[in-house]
């Protein structure tokens, strides 16, 4: 059974014909070419596919494409402004919070959701919030630092810049 | 200008942070079809026949292939890259490893058939129509039981399921030392089986160009040239010149993406049959039953000590599980990457190790982060801690008494390795101070007041990495060289491309290698481009594993830059009308010594490519040099880790409250990236110690931990903030003085955590805990040991 869905993705209206079983993440990756949203598991646990639907963080593997019909989706591709990284993305870069980069889009989308609901999270709150996002490279240490720094900058405070400055 | 040693932010991050990475599954080729691989549900069965006809007729299906189809087409088996010999001199048993099972399946997940269709959904639908006639047979699952007489036979080529019975060291010297010992400490332990779980599942796309006869494979690999060689030469018989292997952005490897896997050959071969690109991407549950697993040792260890606590001899006997078939480097892991590390950081004069490697009806096992070295470190650091307990000595003091002294280098161990540098005592002191080891007992008492058993555990480690001198590994059974290559191409206007045989799948080579080049050439990092991962671009190289990229690959880049500078001096001398011997290269300029007459690297490059005024009779145009570097020795990073844990007396819940890691990695190019490598290794080591365990049902051979529901991956709230420090001694045999840092955390952490847990439980009389020490296991341990106390 095929159905045409219309939704807003990263601020732009899009339409696509999908099967009933097509997942939102498949629509994004395979039909819309937005391959920044990743698939790391088949049990909705890894969080590599986290996007925002109507401003809420959602694992895009848990939603059928048809359920997104009429809704607004933000993916990692829509977070930066042109070549200027969002402060949370910049904090990830500044704190080396990514290595292979595969979990990173989901981590950033989750981090933005956390900070939206809790602008000044403690280390413990950050660690507990990340229950739904797996990373195999970083040991989470730098992700936790990055989210704290991203949140600080988003609050208008200076970046702690734990790792200091490099020679140029 | 010197960026080396400073925390340069990564150049690769922008694309990963904006969704701009290109991982294999992000690639789609025109006309692409999708492969679904049907896998065995049985651990061991004969295949009576496979009826593919209904699947062939299914909607959207282009082809269905079985092992017989591939064999009939001359496709070879997957080769093994390392041959071990047994004690009696006989070569290891090396059973064939068909790409698709032919007459027998040997583990749950063994590939049986491939369905190729217009969409993945249609391929999967059709796979349900493939009818395989299985006759189930008993399976050998437990590695120790598989060696017993009468155990089910996994491969007919390996009698009694034994692949080899290997030994290293001087048994007579060990026995003689044991006879003189004041005390002998004995322990039986296991090193738990793990699933690597890189976050990107494996994927592969095969493509065939009828016009040129060329094949292309896009794959999630740590070493595209190795895959091209193995698949081209041994499996599909495609000459290298007509086979391109691309490993684009790869989402983590940890060893699991070194090996040549069946799916790579399946999609490449099938693309040649159907004349359309064929794509396969693993689902996570498929990764669990098809990625090579790690570890899985069962070991008996004995340590002999004299009255002063000096180690006299060490004797180790290990059964190592290999799974159903030999994966690419599997035989080397529980032998030359294991037994050779059993001296650790200590002066133990006599060591003997024997390893029986065994086939079982489980997923093949191969290197996983650390690969043999974590197993060796766990054996050694557990028995040392147990010895300290039995003789009533502080575990830090017992280690101090036995460390190789810092003036003893080069130090020849009794297990083949020659360490070039280190200072283990100083590194331990650094860690002890950072962890406030002296103040621990008051923290233990304070915790007890809160109902928590608090423990502290030390582990030191040594690893042999920078893999490896080719002649040495060749003499030990490697069927490959382990040098590395680099091409440094200075372009006409002075920007530089570096083509490296190593591969970055999270390690940040685009940044670290750029720092090397920028500092050496005196140019901005932005003028340097690092190219890797495509056999059509890069020179033949062995890839990234074994913490080799900077020590071997980085040195190859240095060698190629040396050649560029040597040629540049000749060109500059000509331009400056000076003697070559008078021209020096510094800060990006060729200068006539003692004058201000100079030419920049860019000016020299332009002259090399526009050779109007050029010593053309003596010198070729161009400024593009290639170097291959074969290391002179392994490198020997070392460290001291201290874990502090608290166990809830009532629930068994455990928290890692402090983790201190002091490492010696030699010279550090980028401290930010090095810290990240240590964090990640620690997380995997702590995961092994507390959470991760791969469990098979011993009767049916079904994998019980086949998804993230059942296999406990470390999450952010399982781990502490890590306290890192470094104590540097330089590697003496490579020009950068670098040792490598990729595996350290995973090597040292399991023993540090386990030692801390045993220390915490010591008041209850606990002597050892096998990993993973889950809360359930800790609760049961506490209940068992409390019961007798309660009864008293």
Is the CB of A75 less than 8 angstroms away from the CB of B19?
yes
What is the spatial distance between Cα B330 and Cα B367, in angstroms, rounded to a whole number?
7
Residue of B nearest to A94 (CA): B9
Does residue B578 fall inside a structural domain?
Answer: yes
Q: Chain A residue with minimal CA distance to B15?
A: A101
B20 touches chain A (CB under 8 A): yes
B660 and B615 in a common domain: no
Judge contact between A107 and A92, C-beta under 8 A: yes
C-beta separation of B330 from B322 below 8 A: yes
Please choose, from the candidates B282, B428, B426, B409, the residue with its C-alpha nearest in 3D space to the C-alpha of residue B748. Answer: B428
For A81, name the nearest residue in chain B, comparing CA atoms only: B18
CA distances from residue B511 to A108, B525, B554 in whole angstroms, order as listed: 22, 8, 12
| Whether A19 contacts chain B with CB within 8 A | yes
Measure the CA angle with vertex B684, ends B515 and A114; round to 5°: 80
Asked if A50 is an interface residue toward chain B (Cβ–Cβ < 8 A), one would say no
**CA distances, B115 to each of A146, B74, B281, B336 (Å):** 44, 20, 13, 40
Does residue B615 share a domain with residue B499?
yes
Beta bridge pairs of residue B499 = B487, B531
Q: How many CA atoms lie within 13 A of B530 on its CB side?
A: 27
Is-contact B256 B328, C-beta < 8 A? no
Question: Tell me, what DSSP letter sits at residue B79?
Answer: P
Q: Is residue B2 part of a domain?
A: no
Say which of B6, B23, B722 has its CB closest to residue A102: B23
Residue B159 lies in a domain: no
Residue of B nearest to A132 (CA): B715
Test A89 with B17 for CB contact under 8 angstroms. Answer: yes
Q: Is A24 helix (H, G, I), strand (E, B) or coil?
A: helix
CB contact under 8 A, A168 and B3: yes
Between positions 129 and 168 of A, the ones with CB within 8 A of B are: 130-131, 133-144, 163-168
Which of these, B393, B409, B389, lies nearest to B401 by C-alpha position? B393
Closest A-chain CA to B198: A136
Kindly report the average pLDDT of chain A as a whole number: 97
Say how far apart CA B354 and CA B318 lie, in whole Å: 6
Q: Which neighbouring-strand residues pair with B281?
A: B203
Write down the pLDDT at residue B602: 96
Same domain, B592 and B567: yes
Residue A142's nearest CA partner among A158, A119, A162 is A162
- Do A77 and B676 make contact, defined as CB atoms within 8 angstroms? no
CA distance B179 to B304: 9
How far apart CA B252 and CA A102 sit, in angstroms, is 8
Q: Does B25 touch chain A (CB under 8 A)?
A: yes
What CA dihedral angle connects A125, A131, A137 and A141, to 10 degrees?
10
Check which CATH number belongs to the domain holding B60 and give it.
3.90.1170.50
Dist. CA B362–CA B154, nearest whole Å? 10
Cα separation, B2 vs B525, whole angstroms: 11
For residue B703, is it within any domain? yes
Q: Which helix (H) or strand (E) is A105 found in, with range?
A: helix A104-117
Q: Which residues from chain B sit within 8 angstroms of residue A142, using beta carbons?
A: 675-676, 679
Cβ–Cβ below 8 Å for A89 and B719: no
**Side-by-side strand order, sheet with A72-74:** A12-19, A2-9, A72-74, A50-53, A56-59
Place of tokens 């039986």: B188
Contacts B671 to A, Cβ<8 Å: 163
User: Which one of A46, A108, A141 has the shortest CB-CB distance to B679?
Assistant: A141
Q: Sort out which chain B residues have CB atoms less than 8 A from A40's CB and list them.
A: 199-201, 251, 284
Closest alpha carbon within chain A to B669? A166
B534 and B574 in a single domain? The answer is: yes
Statement to judge: residues B92 and B218 lie in one domain: yes
Domain limits for position B108: 13-137+199-252+257-288
Beta bridge partners of A3: A18
Cα distance between residue B556 and residue B547, in whole Å: 15
* Helix, coil or strand: residue A48: coil
The whole-angstrom separation of Cα B31 and Cα B275 is 9
Considering only CB atoms, which chain B residues are within 8 Å of A104?
A: 16-17
- For residue A141, which of B627, B680, B109, B526 has the smallest C-alpha distance? B680
A79 CA to chain B: closest CA distance, Å? 7
Query: Which residue matches tokens 């740590």?
Result: B222
Residue numbers in A near B682 (CB within 8 A): 139
Q: How far is A137 from chain B (nearest CA, A)?
A: 5
Q: How many Å apart are CA B616 and CA B597, to the nearest integer?
A: 22
Given this model, what pLDDT does residue B791 score? 46
Which tokens belong to B4? 């080396």
Cross-strand partners of B297: B191, B320
User: Is B21–A101 a contact, with Cβ atoms under 8 angstroms apart?
Assistant: yes
- Residue B763 phi/psi, 5-degree rounding, is -60, -25
- Say how far apart CA B63 and CA B277 lie, in whole Å: 13
Q: Measuring CA to CA, how many Å separate B216 from each of B184, B226, B408, B499? A: 58, 14, 51, 19
- Is B614 contained in some domain? yes
Per-residue confidence (pLDDT) for residue B628, from 0 to 100 = 97
Q: Considering B581, B611, B629, which residue would you say is the last residue of a domain?
A: B629
Q: Which residues of B touch A35 (CB under 8 A)?
A: 19, 22-23, 25-26
Do the bridges between strand B528-531 and strand B496-500 make them parallel or antiparallel, or are there none, so unpaired?
A: parallel
Contact B16 A101 (CB under 8 A): yes
Instruction: Classify each residue of A23-50 as buried b or exposed e, where b means 16 or more C-beta atoms within 10 Å of its C-beta.
Output: bbbbbbbbebebbbbbbbbbeebbbbbb
Of B26, B198, B708, which is closest to A45 when you measure between CB atoms?
B708
CB-CB under 8 Å, A48 with B199? yes
Token look-up 């110690």 returns: B689
Q: In which residue are the tokens 């069962």 written?
A: B298
- Report which of B289, B314, B312 is spatially closest to residue B300, judged by C-alpha positions: B314
Chain A contact set for B509 (CB, 8 A)? none
**Residue in B18, B199, B681 nearest the CB of A102:** B199
End-to-end, the C-alpha distance of chain B in Å comes to: 71
Whether residue B702 lies inside any domain: the answer is yes
Choose the closest CB to B673 out of A38, A96, A100.
A96
**How many Å separate Cα B762 from the centre of its chain?**
34
Query: Of B268, B288, B308, which residue constitutes the final position of a domain?
Result: B288
CB of B59 less than 8 A from some CB of A: no
Secondary structure (3-state) at B640: strand
Query: The tokens 């040099």 sit on which residue?
Result: B625
Same domain, B547 and B458: no
- Identify whether residues B529 and B620 lie together within a single domain: yes
- B590, B599 contact by CB (below 8 A): yes
- Residue at a domain's end among B598, B614, B629: B629
Sign of the torsion formed by the C-alpha atoms of B604, B609, B612 and B617: positive
Domain membership of residue B334 (yes or no) is no
ipTM: 0.98
- The DSSP code for B329 is T
Task: Please state, in angstroms and rounded to a whole number, the distance separating the CA atoms of residues B358 and B524.
Answer: 53
Same domain for B585 and B530? yes
Instruction: Kindly state whether B672 is in contact with chain A, defined as any CB-CB distance less than 8 angstroms.
Output: yes
Do B398 and B532 belong together in one domain? no
Listed by number, the residues of chain B in 437-496 with a beta carbon closer than 8 Å to a beta carbon of chain A are: none
DSSP codes, B515-539: HHHHHHHT--GGGEEEE-SBTTTSP
Residue B711 domain flag: yes
Beta bridge partners, B628, equal B485
Q: Could you tell me which residues come within 8 angstroms of residue B129 by beta carbon, excluding any fewer than 6 positions away?
A: B54, B55, B58
CA distance B167 to B301: 14
Same domain, B460 and B590: no
CB contact under 8 A, B18 and A141: no
| Structural domains of chain A sorted by starting position, each given as residue range(s) with its CATH number in brackets | 2-78 (3.10.20.30), 87-154 (1.10.150.120)
What is the reported pLDDT for B1?
54
Say whether residue B587 is in contact with chain A using an 8 A CB cutoff: no
Between chains, do A142 and B14 touch, taking CB under 8 Å as contact?
no
Beta carbons of B200 and A137 less than 8 Å apart: no
Closest-CA distance, A6 to chain B, in angstroms, reads 22
Give the burial class of B583: count Cβ atoms within 10 A of its Cβ; 0-12 exposed, 13-18 middle, 19 or more buried: buried
- Is the CB of A105 less than 8 angstroms away from the CB of B684? no
Closest residue, chain A, to B285 (C-alpha)? A42
Please choose, from the candidates A1, A3, A14, the residue with its C-alpha nearest in 3D space to the C-alpha of residue A71: A14
What integer is the mean pLDDT of A20-27?
97
3-state secondary structure of B473: helix
**C-alpha torsion B415→B419→B423→B424, nearest 10:** -20
Statement to judge: residues B408 and B518 lie in one domain: no
Quick: pLDDT tens for A96-147. 999 999 999 999 999 999 999 999 999 999 999 999 999 999 999 999 999 9
Pairing of the two strands B214-219 and B452-462? unpaired
**B299: nearest Cα among B771, B782, B711, B646:** B771
Residues 701-760 of B with CB under 8 A from A: 707-709, 713-717, 719, 721-722, 745
Concatenating the DSSP letter of every residue in B115-148 gives: EEESSHHHHHHHHTT-EEEEEE-----SHHHHTS
Chain B interface disruption, residue of A45, A77, A114, A136, most B CBs within 10 A: A136
**Chain A interface mutation, best of B17, B524, B674, highest count of A Cβ atoms under 10 Å:** B17
Ranges in chain B, pLDDT < 50: 791-792
Nearest to A91 by CA among A111, A118, A121, A120: A111
Q: Where are the alpha helices (DSSP H) in B714-774?
A: 744-761
Structural domain tally of chain B? 3
Considering only CB atoms, which chain A residues are within 8 Å of B673?
A: 96
For residue B23, report the phi and psi dihedrals to the nearest 5 degrees.
-90, 165
Residues B350-404 pLDDT 10s: 999 999 999 999 999 999 999 999 999 999 999 999 999 999 999 999 999 999 9
CB within 8 Å: B15 and A101 = yes
Q: For residue B556, give the CATH number of its domain.
A: 3.30.365.10
Search chain B and give the residue with CA nearest A131: B715
Mutate to test the interface with B, among A139, A142, A162 (most CBs of B within 10 A): A139
Q: Which residues between 92 and 111 in chain A have a beta carbon less than 8 angstroms from any beta carbon of chain B?
A: 92-94, 96, 98-105, 108
B621 with B644, same domain: the answer is: no
């Amino acid at each position: 059974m095929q159905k045409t869905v219309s939704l807003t993705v990263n601020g732009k209206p899009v339409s696509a014909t999908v099967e009933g079983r097509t997942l939102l993440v498949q629509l994004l990756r395979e039909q819309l070419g937005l391959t920044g949203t990743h698939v790391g598991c088949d049990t909705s646990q890894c969080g590599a596919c986290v996007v925002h639907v109507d401003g809420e963080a959602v694992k895009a593997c848990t939603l059928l494409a048809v359920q997104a019909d009429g809704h607004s989706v933000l993916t990692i591709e829509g977070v930066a402004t042109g070549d200027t990284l969002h402060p949370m993305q910049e904090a990830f870069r500044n704190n080396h919070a990514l290595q292979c980069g595969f979990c990173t889009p989901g981590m950033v989308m989750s981090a933005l959701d956390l900070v939206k609901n809790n602008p000044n999270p403690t280390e413990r709150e950050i660690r507990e919030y990340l229950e739904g996002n797996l990373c195999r490279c970083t040991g989470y240490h730098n992700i936790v630092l990055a989210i704290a720094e991203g949140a600080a900058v988003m609050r208008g405070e200076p970046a702690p810049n734990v790792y200091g400055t490099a020679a140029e | 200008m010197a960026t080396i040693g400073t925390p340069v932010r990564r150049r690769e991050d922008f694309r990963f942070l904006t969704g701009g990475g290109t991982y294999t599954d992000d690639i789609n080729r025109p006309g692409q079809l999708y492969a679904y691989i049907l896998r065995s549900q049985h651990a061991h069965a004969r295949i009576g026949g496979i009826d593919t006809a209904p699947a062939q007729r299914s909607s959207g299906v282009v082809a269905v292939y079985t092992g017989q189809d591939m064999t009939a087409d001359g496709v070879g088996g997957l080769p093994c890259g390392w041959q071990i010999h047994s004690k009696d001199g006989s070569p290891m048993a090396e059973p064939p490893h068909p790409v698709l099972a032919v007459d027998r399946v040997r583990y749950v997940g063994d590939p049986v058939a491939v369905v190729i269709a217009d969409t993945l959904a249609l391929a999967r639908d059709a796979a349900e129509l493939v009818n395989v006639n299985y006759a189930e047979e008993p399976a050998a699952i437990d590695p120790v039981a598989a060696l017993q007489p009468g155990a089910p036979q996994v491969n007919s080529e390996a009698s009694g399921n034994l692949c080899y019975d290997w030994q290293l060291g001087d048994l007579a010297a060990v026995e003689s030392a044991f006879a003189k010992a004041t005390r002998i400490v004995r322990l039986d332990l296991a090193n738990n089986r793990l699933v690597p779980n890189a976050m990107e599942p494996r994927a592969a796309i095969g493509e065939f160009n009828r016009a040129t006869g060329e094949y292309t494979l896009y794959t999630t690999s740590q070493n595209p040239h190795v895959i091209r060689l193995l698949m081209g030469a041994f499996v599909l018989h495609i000459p290298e010149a007509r086979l391109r292997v691309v490993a684009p952005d790869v989402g983590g490897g940890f060893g699991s993406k070194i090996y040549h896997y069946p799916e790579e050959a399946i999609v490449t071969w099938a693309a040649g049959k159907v004349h359309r690109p064929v794509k396969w991407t693993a689902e996570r549950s498929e990764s669990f039953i098809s990625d090579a697993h790690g570890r899985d040792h069962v070991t008996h260890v004995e340590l002999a000590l004299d009255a002063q606590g000096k180690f006299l001899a060490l004797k180790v006997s290990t059964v190592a599980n290999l799974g159903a078939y030999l994966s690419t480097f599997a035989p080397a892991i529980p032998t030359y990457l294991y037994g050779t590390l059993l001296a650790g950081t200590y002066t133990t004069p006599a060591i003997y190790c024997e390893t029986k490697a065994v086939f079982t009806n489980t997923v093949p096992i191969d290197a996983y982060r650390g690969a043999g070295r974590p197993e060796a470190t766990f054996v050694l650091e557990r028995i040392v801690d147990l010895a300290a307990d039995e003789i009533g000595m502080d575990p830090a003091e017992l280690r101090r008494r036995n460390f190789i002294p810092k003036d003893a280098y080069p130090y020849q161990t009794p297990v083949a390795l020659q360490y070039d540098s280190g200072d283990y005592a100083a590194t331990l002191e650094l860690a002890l101070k950072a962890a406030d080891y002296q103040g621990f007992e008051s923290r233990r008492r304070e915790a007890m007041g809160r109902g928590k058993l608090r423990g502290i555990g030390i582990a030191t480690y040594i690893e042999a990495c920078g893999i490896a001198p080719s002649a040495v590994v060749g003499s030990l059974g490697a069927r490959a060289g382990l040098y590395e290559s680099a091409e440094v191409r200075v372009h006409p206007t002075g920007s530089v491309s570096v083509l490296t045989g190593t591969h970055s799948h999270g390690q940040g080579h685009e940044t670290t290698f750029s720092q090397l080049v920028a500092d050496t050439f005196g140019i901005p990092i932005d003028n340097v481009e690092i190219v890797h991962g495509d056999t059509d671009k890069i020179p033949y190289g062995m890839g990234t594993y074994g913490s080799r990229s900077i020590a071997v690959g980085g040195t190859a880049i240095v060698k190629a830059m040396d050649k560029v500078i040597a040629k540049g001096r000749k060109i500059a001398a000509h331009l400056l009308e000076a003697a070559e011997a008078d021209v020096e290269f510094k800060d990006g300029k060729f200068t006539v010594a003692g004058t201000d007459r100079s030419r920049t690297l860019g000016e020299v490059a332009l002259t090399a490519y526009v050779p109007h005024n050029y010593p053309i009779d003596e010198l070729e145009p161009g400024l593009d040099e290639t170097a291959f570097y074969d290391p002179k020795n392994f490198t020997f990073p070392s460290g001291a880790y201290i874990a502090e844990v608290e166990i809830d007396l009532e629930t068994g819940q455990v928290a890692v409250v402090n983790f201190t890691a002091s490492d010696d990695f030699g010279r550090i190019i980028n401290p930010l990236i090095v810290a990240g490598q240590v964090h990640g290794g620690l997380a995997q080591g702590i995961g092994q110690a507390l959470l991760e365990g791969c469990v098979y049902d011993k009767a049916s051979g079904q994998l019980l931990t086949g998804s993230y529901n059942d296999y406990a991956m470390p999450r952010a709230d399982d781990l502490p903030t890590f306290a890192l420090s470094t104590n540097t001694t330089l590697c003496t045999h490579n020009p950068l003085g670098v040792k490598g840092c990729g595996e350290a955390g995973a090597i040292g952490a399991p023993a540090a955590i386990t030692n801390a847990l045993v220390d915490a439980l010591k008041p209850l009389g606990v002597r050892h805990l096998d990993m993973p020490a889950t809360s359930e296991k800790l609760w049961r341990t506490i209940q068992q040991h409390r019961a007798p106390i309660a009864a008293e």
